Amino acid sequence: MATELIGHIETTPGVSGGKPRIAGHRITVQDIVIWHERMGLHPDEIAKEYGLSLSDICAALADLVADLLAGDVPFAATEEEKLVTRVCKRAAIKAGQVLSHAEMQELARQLEACRSPRTCPHGRPTMIHLSAEQLAKEFGRR
């Protein structure tokens, strides 16, 4: 763990399932990430709502980034799940990759069949909703 995280993030067997958490709290790094990434809360809002310092929030997000850069899958429940996720990442369609119309349709069908189709294993969105108004605005129609 990076030096700047020392004092902010701790892991204790038997506390919060042994997951990395904000020192002195039962709030896990995963909680912070969910509030920030999935619920759209700003770090200042999280800090104020849960009585944490902004440094705590930044340390939690930095801890996640360090794990991701190291190739870890931080929130995977089991080693098997981590392995499956790593294999899937390598086989994933990459940005800029050209697909045929049939491949795109099959990909959409597979996505719809997923347990959680709206996010990737890291919690990032796999799709976004654009209203007709937003779409028209993007194409200069309004």
Q: Would you state the pLDDT for residue 82?
A: 60
Token pair of 6 as six digits: 């020392």
Domain boundaries, the chain: 3-69, 97-138
Q: For residue 77, give the nearest of 15, 14, 17 by alpha carbon.
A: 17
Q: Which helix (H) or strand (E) holds 138?
A: helix 132-138
pLDDT digits over 60-71, tens only?
Answer: 888 888 877 777
CATH of the domain spanning 3-69: 1.10.10.10
Instruction: Please indicate whether the domains covering 3-69 and 97-138 agree at the CATH topology level.
Output: no
Query: What sign results for the dihedral spanned by CA atoms 77, 82, 83, 89?
Result: positive
The residue to which tokens 């705590």 are assigned = 56
Q: Would you state the pLDDT for residue 36?
A: 84
Question: What topology does CATH give the domain 97-138?
Answer: formyl-coa transferase, domain 3 (3.30.1540)
The stretch 6-12 carries a mean pLDDT of 83
Token pair of 97 as six digits: 């990759």
E strands within the chain?
9-10, 21-22
Question: What is this structure's pTM?
Answer: 0.49
pLDDT digits over 23-71, tens only?
Answer: 888 888 888 888 888 788 889 988 988 899 999 998 888 888 887 777 7
Q: Which residues pair with 22 in a beta bridge?
A: 9
